[in-house]
Structures are given as C-alpha cells and as structure tokens.
Structure 1
Amino acid sequence: MSDSLWQDRAVVLPWLKGRWEYLLELKAQNRFPHALLINGPEGIGKACFALALANYVLCREPKGGAACGHCRSCELTNSGNHPDLYLLKPEEPGKPIKIDQVRELTSFIYSTAQQGGYRVVILDPADSMNVNAANALLKMLEEPGTNTLLMLLTHRLGQMLPTIKSRCQRVDMPPADISLATQWVATQLEVDAAEAAQLLVIAHNSPLQALSYKQDDLLGLRAKVLKGLADILKNRSSAVEVAQSLYKEDLELVLGWIYSWIVDIARSSENQADPELLRHADAKNMLLALARKVSSQKLYHFADQVQVARKDLMFRRNPNKQLLMETLLTAWYSLPRPN
C-alpha cells in the first residue's frame, strides 16, 4: 500500500505542515535545493505533499504559503496537463523504474520551461529505480540546469544508492501525529474516533492506508488471513491449504499484519498474558490464547522468519511466494505445540 488514494491530490496533510513551512522558508531565503529526497513512512501523504510543492513552485502568484489556484500555471496543474511537470513512476505497480524511462527525462530537464518558470520532476517511488536507472539519474542531479526541482519520494531509504542520496537534500517526513491522524481519519471516513483509532493501529499509524482499509475492503482480506491462521491452529485447514489461498495476495501487507500480531503476542506473554496489552482487537482471542501457550524462543524465531521473508519481498528477490507462505504457516502451526 502507498499514498495511492491521494497521490493525485495536491494537499499538505495536517501532520506535515511543519515540513511544508520549512521548505517554503528555504525558498523565501533563496536556499531552495534543486533536488529533494522526501523520505518517510508509507501512506502519510508524501505524494500529495510533493504535488502541492510542485504546484507552489510552478505557480506564478503564490499567496499565503500556497499556490494561488487561478493563474494559467495553476489551471494547467489542476487539469493535470502542466507541460513543466513530469511525473515518473514504474510502468506497472510493483515493477522497477527502468533506465529508458529515466533517459526520457533528459530532453525535459534540459529544455526551456514552457511557462517560463520552474521545471519539476517527481519520481515515486524513487527506491524502485534499478541500478542502471539510478546511475542514469546521477548526471541530472549533478547538472540539473537552472530553475529545476527534482523530488524523489521513498519509504525505503536503505534501498537508495548512496550516490543518489548524497546529491539530494533529504527531507524526513515525521510519523503522523496520533491525535491529528485520528481526527482526520474519522472525518474522512465519517466514523467515530474509536473506529478511526483502531484503523490506525491496524494500518501501523498510516492515515492513507487506514482509508484504504475501509474503502478498498482490506478489512475483508485481513479477516481472511485471520480466519486462515485460526483454522491452522484448530486443525480445520492445513498450512498448505491456507498458503494456497493467500500467496497471490499482497504478501508485504499480509506479512506486515502477521509481524504486528507477533509483537502483540510477545507484549502480552511477557506480562502474564495481559489482554489489555493487545492492540489488535480483531485478533484478540487468538493472540491471547497464543500468549498463554507459546514459548519466547519459538515466538522470536518465528518473528525472525517473518522478517526475512518480508525483506525478500521488499528487495524483490523473487521468492517462490507459495513456498514462502507454506514455510511460514507451517511454523505458525507449531508455535503453541511442544517440540
């Protein structure tokens, strides 16, 4: 999951106001960089922040710390047809940004801005560039030309080449403030604060992902995963059968849930299986039962297995997804059982 629901909206979400003001102050002091590496947790609004900044930079008459919304440049950005704004993404979700895509930027970067102001490029996610694509971008970062702004968005800073990072000014986006995020999610979804808070727990404090849970029926997928795990523990289904039903889903998301449930089990088991320490209300009964039975050694070993599998997926090592799930779910089955 990402900022996809809001990536086409130019807006600065409440918890990012401080970063917005910081960048506008740099611009007012004529210290605005030509390349920004916008880094932060997934689903906090980096894409819409970058688009808002692009609109501000391209606007001919910005007022009150925002684009005016009325000039010719703003009309073009609002219609999605600004000739001086270039959005670079993978050709398909989950695929890398290729060298040919980066090379196509050359004529844009070194041309004259058609509206007479800035040329702006947004790469999202920048960590999806393969090595060749990243190397092709280096020259543009070193010699971008005047009035050029490149914004590289990432939630996986460790996957960015050091040579890329060293040529950008890094802007770290903070995690969403819990109070602001809860109020915002509640307003967007028209739910009460308690439901918004639980959605944020499930979504690891990612407000945009919390919206996705409700709007894209990710709660349905989550319920399917929980049922599969419970069925394995109760011998209603085998690990192989559940793996078969899940391996085609978004496994980064699924394994993120499983890892967060492990953390809940560990937190509770270290405190005499205290139910008050379980944050995931939708999985409370199963997690509490495991907290009373599972050994710390088994739990931490399983947590390590899940993390290795997540890294294989994140770094696109092309694991056999069905085998990966079969292995993890077999280990899940053994958690409450003696060796």
Structure 2
Amino acid sequence: MSPRQAERESAIPHPRETSLLFGHREAEMALLTAYRSGRIPHAWLIGGPRGIGKATLAYRMARFVLAHGQPLAAAVQSAEDLAIDPDHAVARQVAAGSHGGLLTLERTANDRGVMRTVITVDETRETIAFFGSTAAAEGWRVCIVDTVDELNPNAANALLKILEEPPQRSLFLLVSHAPARVLATIQSRCRKLRLRALTTDQVLGAAAAAAGIAPTDLALREAAEASEGSVSRALTLLGGDALKLQQRTAAMLARLPEVDPRDLHTLGESLGTSDRVALAAFVDGVDRWIADRLHEDEANANQNLPRLARLSEVWEKIVRAARDTETYNLERKPLVFSVFGWLADATR
C-alpha cells in the first residue's frame, strides 16, 4: 500500500461518524414515514451492494430515533429527513460509540488482536442483556448489525430469538450485502429495504467527502465512473493501480471457464504480500462478477437452479478464503488460483 493510500484509508470515517447521506432519498423517507406513524416495524433488513451507504443510513436512523424518542412529537412530524445536528449530544455519543441506547454487532478483534472472520454467538447474546436492561432515554433501544451476512449459524439463531419476541420500543437495523441469502426466518421478521447503487455524481460527492479530496480531482472522477455506484469501490480504486488490477481481473473472469495459469501467476504476484488495497480490488472484482451472474440466473431461476446453487456455494467459499487471507496476512497467489479454480468448475 502506498503512503497516499494508507493515509486516505485511515482518514475514511466510520459510518457512525458520517452525518451526510448521498442518495437513498426514497429509503430514508420510508424509515421516517414508518417512524412518525407510531407503528414502525421493529426490524429492518437494509440490503444492497457493498459501499453504497447502507450502514450510513442505519446509523442515521439510529441517531434520529435516539434524539427524537416520541414519534408523534412536532419535531418528528415536521422533519424533512433523518438528519440531526452533528453537534447534538446524541450525534456525539453515537460517533464515540458511547450511547447507552445503541448496540452495534460487527466483527471484532480476538484476544490476540486479530480480526475475527465472523460475528460470534457470544457477541450476539449481548443483545439479550442489552434489551433486557433498563431502557435508555425516551425508552428506545436500537441494535445495528453490520453485517448480518457475517453472523455464524449460532449467532444468527441467537439473533432470531430476540427478533421473535422483540421488547417494546426496540429497533433492529440489519445491514446485508446479499439479503436474499440471509436466514429465511430472519427475513420473515424484517421489513425489507432495498438500496440501489448510487449515480456517478453521488459516488463522487460521497467519496470526496469521505477522503477529503476535491470533487474535481480527475483520479477521483475516474474511480467514481468505474465504481458502479459503490463509494467504497471508488475509494479502493482511487490511485490507478487498483483500477488496472480490477480491469485485469474482470478480463480473466470474462474468459471463464477457460483459465490460463500464466495469467494467474501474474495476477497473484500483482497482489503483493501485504497490500490490502490490491487484495480488496481483486476480491471486489470477483464479488461483483458473481453478483452479476447470480442476478442473471435469478431472472430465470427455474432453468438455472443448478448453476445458481453452485455459484452461491462458491461465493461463500471465496468470502471465507478472502477474509482468512486478509486476517492472517496469507500469501495472495494461492487465493487467486483457488478462486479461479472454483469459478471454473462452477461455470462449466
């Protein structure tokens, strides 16, 4: 990773610190309308591609509910969106991770300081104590799961038990990159909110704000145009080398099930040994390619069920392998060979 990339990556704020939301006006209004009706569903499954602002919207909703605990109050009824002043006490507490009415479930580091590959059942069981405790100010308690895709099976079942018998004035915001693959019993207890990819101009504005770069930056414009509506993808591609690597990956994926071992060696070497940006660009390119194939197959599910099942299984293997590679800083080349080998078998 270049010094510029490292500086940019470390400067990107966490969604809990992000006050601006680019796009998703329809989804934001769906949440606001449901809340001020006084009968908001207790659980929402916020789905869509990676890096488009799903978690940002979830934290935006959490701040609004915690700041305005009475849905029928005049301030809620007259609100035009979910924004609250960044200097509001709730906004500051949420940004610091110290608000007593908000619980976030996300991957954490283990005792050795290594990031876990899943959200564990022990972490998920914190929701039981959280929702069983004395209510926070105004009685609302909010749980954000970022992402529900990363719950291991036992953790998913533990969350399900809470969703089946939700406490009064509780709100669950479940973020998912692949909502169709979320446990069916969890889906059935959630109101689904699908977010679309952002426009190029929306990506440009969001990426510029996140990275502290002028929207007129030519490299940022090029990355935004190649991002396919994802802010995180634009930030990953910013810098040139990552964009070229993803283009090379896309060209090789387009030739599947044909695979040239020489190309795999070259691609593996270009990922380096500890370059997180290059690894992210490779994984993101593969992830996008599989998502496109799954979307195509879902349109003709009856004819494509076997291939749909194979690709879904391979996707899960790739996600686990990529996560392990990043977490334990493993060699990149074996990952490249494994990924293309699995995909070649699945597409024959």
Name the TM-score, length of structure 1 as normaliser.
0.67
Give me the whole-angstrom Cα distance separating, in 1, the residues matched to 2:106 and 2:285: 27
How many pairs align?
279
Q: 1:104 to 1:152 in 2, by over 3 A?
A: same
1:51 aligns with 2:59: yes
1:80 aligned partner, one-letter code: G
Q: 1:97 to 1:247 in 2, by over 3 A?
A: farther
1:220 to 237, 241, 249: 241
The 5 Å alignment of 1:63-78 reads 64=79, 65=81, 66-67=83-84, 72-78=89-95
| Residue in 1 that maps onto 2:27 | 19
Residues 110, 144 of structure 1: 8 Å contact kept: no
| Residue in 2 that maps onto 1:88 | 105
Deviation at 1:309, TM superposition (A): 6.1
Name the TM-score, length of structure 2 as normaliser.
0.66
1:86 aligned partner, one-letter code: L
| Residue in 2 that maps onto 1:102 | 124
Aligned residue for 1:82, secondary structure, equals: coil
1:37 to 42, 45, 50: 45
Residues 143, 172 of structure 2: 8 Å contact kept: yes
- Root mean square deviation of aligned Cα: 4.0
Deviation at 1:47, TM superposition (A): 1.4
For residues 198-236 of structure 1, give each alpha carbon's deviation from its aligned partner in whole angstroms, at most 9, with x where no partner exists: 21233232123313433xx5x434456778999xxxx9x
For residues 219-260 of structure 1, give each alpha carbon's deviation from its aligned partner in whole angstroms, at most 9, with x where no partner exists: 434456778999xxxx9x774365355375665631544798
Deviation at 1:86, TM superposition (A): 0.7
Q: 1:60 to 1:5 in 2, by over 3 A?
A: closer
1:112 to 134, 146, 149: 134
Q: 1:229 to 1:170 in 2, by over 3 A?
A: closer
1:198 aligns with 2:222: yes
The 5 Å alignment of 1:258-269 reads none
| Residue in 2 that maps onto 1:253 | 281
Aligned residue for 1:87, secondary structure, equals: strand
2:104 aligned partner, one-letter code: L
Give me the whole-angstrom Cα distance separating, in 1, the residues matched to 2:65 and 2:319: 33
Deviation at 1:311, TM superposition (A): 5.1
Deviation at 1:95, TM superposition (A): 0.8
Residues 252, 310 of structure 1: 8 Å contact kept: no
Gaps spanning 5+ residues in structure 2: where? Answer: 1-8, 70-74, 110-114, 252-259, 290-309, 326-330, 342-348
Residues 19, 173 of structure 1: 8 Å contact kept: yes
Aligned residue for 2:144, secondary structure, equals: strand
The 5 Å alignment of 1:1-339 reads 5-60=13-68, 62=75, 64=79, 65=81, 66-67=83-84, 72-92=89-109, 93=115, 95-185=117-207, 189-192=213-216, 195-214=219-238, 219-223=240-244, 239-240=264-265, 242-244=267-269, 246=271, 251=279, 253-257=281-285, 312-314=317-319, 322-326=333-337
| Larger displacement relative to structure 2 (35-44 or 177-186) | 177-186
Deviation at 1:6, TM superposition (A): 4.0
Q: 1:17 to 1:238 in 2, by over 3 A?
A: closer
Deviation at 1:17, TM superposition (A): 2.0
Give me the whole-angstrom Cα distance separating, in 1, the residues matched to 2:220 and 2:321: 32
| Residue in 2 that maps onto 1:268 | none
Residues 182, 193 of structure 1: 8 Å contact kept: no
Percent of aligned positions that are identical: 26
Give me the whole-angstrom Cα distance separating, in 1, the residues matched to 2:25 and 2:249: 41
Give me the whole-angstrom Cα distance separating, in 1, the residues matched to 2:148 and 2:249: 35
Give me the whole-angstrom Cα distance separating, in 1, the residues matched to 2:162 and 2:313: 35
Larger Rg: 1
Aligned residue for 1:38, secondary structure, equals: strand
For residues 117-166 of structure 1, give each alpha carbon's deviation from its aligned partner in whole angstroms, at most 9, with x where no partner exists: 21011110111001111011111101120111111101122331101111
Residues 68, 74 of structure 1: 8 Å contact kept: yes
